[in-house]
Amino acid sequence: MLEIRAALPGEMDAVTRLMCIAFDLAYEPTRALLARDPHTNPLLRRVAVKDGRVIACLTIAPRSMWLLQGLVPILGISGVATHPNHRRKGHAARLLESALEYAHRQGFGFAALYAAETGYYERRGWVPVARDCLRTVHREPPSAPRARRLAREATEAD
């Protein structure tokens, strides 16, 4: 059975190793970088655990983003990773749904996903709003009907 939840403190090394495998990163530099990262708090890491092993993860963090003419609080989502042996089984989609439910419960009106590859997320309803990296806006909780999304790229006037 798959369990989706916040990471436990003792699982952070497994999360780091998973990210290294998923993103083809060297372990030691990644571990050192994450040791200095303020978002390494296990409560900001969501994990998918199967048979006691972390098989997918993502990071959540409160952020702000310019939308229309104002700076609004958003839930940032990044580092979505699934072990290669467990891909194409819906685990990342379940993690994203869990993150959106968390955003809704915490009162965030928007969630922004930071990703290098866009296709997977666009097929799931995320909308690109910047060219340099995918910053998508997802307004409603997963169970709500889709609403018109209002977002634009920031300009120098902002």
Q: What is the CATH classification number for the domain harbouring 75?
A: 3.40.630.30
- Do 92 and 115 form a contact (C-beta atoms < 8 A)? no
pLDDT for the residue numbered 35: 83
Has residue 154 got a pLDDT over 80?
no
CA-based nearest residue to 10, from 51, 54, 50, 48: 54
Q: What are phi and psi of 71, to 5 degrees?
A: -90, 120
Q: Is residue 154 part of a domain?
A: no
Q: How confident is the model at residue 155 (pLDDT cuts 50, 70, 90)?
A: low
Q: Is residue 76 part of a domain?
A: yes
Task: Decide which of 53 and 128 is more confident.
Answer: 53
Which string of DSSP letters, residue by residue, matches 77-135? EEEEEE-GGGTTSSHHHHHHHHHHHHHHHTT-SEEEEEES--HHHHTTT--B--SSSEE
Q: How confident is the model at residue 124 (pLDDT cuts 50, 70, 90)?
A: confident
Strand-pairing partners, residue 57, are 47, 81
Q: Is residue 47 part of a domain?
A: yes
Q: What are phi and psi of 114, to 5 degrees?
A: -105, 115
Q: Is residue 150 part of a domain?
A: no
Has residue 76 got a pLDDT over 60?
yes
Domain assignment of residue 63, given as a range: 2-137
Q: How confident is the model at residue 135 (pLDDT cuts 50, 70, 90)?
A: very low
Total number of domains in the chain? 1
CA distance 37 to 30: 10
